[in-house]
Amino acid sequence: MAEQRVSRWYFGGLASSGAACCTHPLDLLKVHLQTQQEVKMRMMGMAMHVIRNDGVLALYNGLSASLCRQMTYSLTRFGIYETARNHLGQGRQGPPPFYQKVLLAAAGGFTGGFVGTPADMVNVRMQNDMKQPPAQRRNYSHALDGMYRVLREEGLKKLFSGASAASCRGALVTVGQLSCYDQAKQLVLATGLLSDNVFTHFLSSFIAGGCATFLCQPLDVLKTRLMNSHGEYRGITHCAMETAKLGPLAFYKGFVPAAVRLVPQTVLTFLFLEQLRKYFGIKVTT
């Protein structure tokens, strides 16, 4: 009987937090590009604009909210997916079929998207705050301060503004990341050309990051606009209609920085996750 290690339920949140620390500046630039009313700057131009006006550390505005988001959103979706997948794998030969992985990832991502909405909204606001006129800036001290002030000043409903878009986006990105990563890794190992090593993890996660970006970008744009709004949208449908007036490519505004952020984040997340699993995972026999 062979022995292997499986992830603990919270490893996904820890791995995603580590990746977020590395990719946060790219996430901030993506939010800035998506909230432009007109395409005025590209990624490098926006980066130089932020650094010139607010300093290098401004690229890490909202990091506390980003980490809070990962420890709610990603911890939930990874926890549901990994736990359910391991349960399905008990007593059977080989991994679950791909369609089951997709369904598990969609369920975990949808739940995680809803749970992580408050932190996600505060994350978007903190990242975008420097673009606002001084009188309109919210000036949240940190993630918990932001969530408390939204709850006190705008109510519980506003705290979950954009939850439908965030949940749907969470389902799509989790299908792209988790189920596609597992399937890509399974197919790569089945060739017999590579072993279960860091290069295999890198290749599989790179494929998964590309799939996730392609699936979730339109909803990501709508989610960002809803969370950063001052009440001008009545819901996701109205937001989609107003965004459509800017042209079909408006749904893919910031696609390149989204891919530049999401692909490295996916790669780093799974590299961290595999190392956590290798050294601290639960031993099981198969």
CATH code at 81? 1.50.40.10
Of 271, 261, 109, 257, nearest to 204 by C-alpha is 271
Coil, helix or strand for 220?
helix
Q: What stretch of H or E contains 180?
A: helix 180-190
For the full predicted model, state whether its pTM sits above 0.75: yes
φ and ψ at 229, to 5 degrees?
-75, 160
In this structure, what token pair is assigned to residue 73?
Answer: 């959103």
d(Cα 158, Cα 229) in Å, to the nearest integer? 10
pLDDT (tens digit, 9 = 90+) per residue, 208-248?
A: 999 998 888 887 788 778 777 777 888 778 888 888 888 87
Which percentage of the chain shows pLDDT scores above 90? 42
Span of 4-8, 78-82, 96-100 with lowest mean pLDDT: 4-8
Domain that holds residue 25: 3-285
Domain count of the fold of the chain: 1
CB atoms within 10 A of CB 75: 23
- Asked if pLDDT for residue 17 goes beyond 80, the answer is yes
SS3 9: coil
